[in-house]
Amino acid sequence: MKPSQTRDLSVKEVASQLGVSTKFVRQLISHGELVAYRPGVRSYRVTQEAIEQYKAARLHQLRNELFVAGGGE
């Protein structure tokens, strides 16, 4: 593997990286909030790009919530 390449992560690894439970990661996948694929019947794999996209979307959502809660100033 080249240094610039990253491997796809398991649900457990994603949970560890995001600081959440594996159940929550599976819920994110199920609800379409985190893009994943199934290399087999029982497991999911998530790309680092998908994790970054989720983080960016979540940050955007939090900023909007704070903006509205703060009176839109």
pLDDT digits (tens, 9 = 90+) for 26-56: 999 999 999 999 999 989 999 999 999 999 9
pLDDT score of 62: 87
Cα–Cα distance, 37 to 43 (Å, whole number): 8
Contact 60, 27 (CB under 8 A): no
pLDDT value of position 73: 56
Length of the chain: 73
Looking at residue 6, its pLDDT comes to: 75
DSSP track, 5-54: ----B-HHHHHHHHTS-HHHHHHHHHTTSS--B-SSSS--BB-HHHHHHH
Average pLDDT of 59-63? 89
Band the pLDDT of 72: cuts 50, 70, 90.
low
Place of tokens 């439970």: 21
